[in-house]
Amino acid sequence: VIVGRGSSLGCNEKKISRHHAELLLKDDNTLWITPTHANPVFYRPSNGKTIQLQKDVERELKDG
């Protein structure tokens, strides 16, 4: 699933591209995100420390 600016997220912020990141559910039922745009994508794991994700580098998303 591609996420970004537009009706799917209800977001019209110009800093978010229409194809900002890709979400992928793998065969082992893990969910991964891959930023696909130069503008940053941020991830906040359960420890609360926000991490800026790098373009084209996938990261597993976990519950919490």
Q: 26-38: per-residue pLDDT in tens?
A: 999 999 999 998 8
* Domains of the chain and any CATH numbers: 2-61 (2.60.200.20)
Question: Hey, which residues does 52 pair with through a beta bridge?
Answer: 42
The whole-number pLDDT of residue 47 equals: 82
pTM as predicted: 0.79
Residue bearing the bigger pLDDT, 52 or 6: 52
pLDDT interval class at 7 (50, 70, 90): low
Output 55-60 pairs: Cβ under 8 A, ≥24 positions apart.
58/24, 58/32, 58/33, 58/34, 59/32, 59/33, 59/34, 60/30, 60/31, 60/32
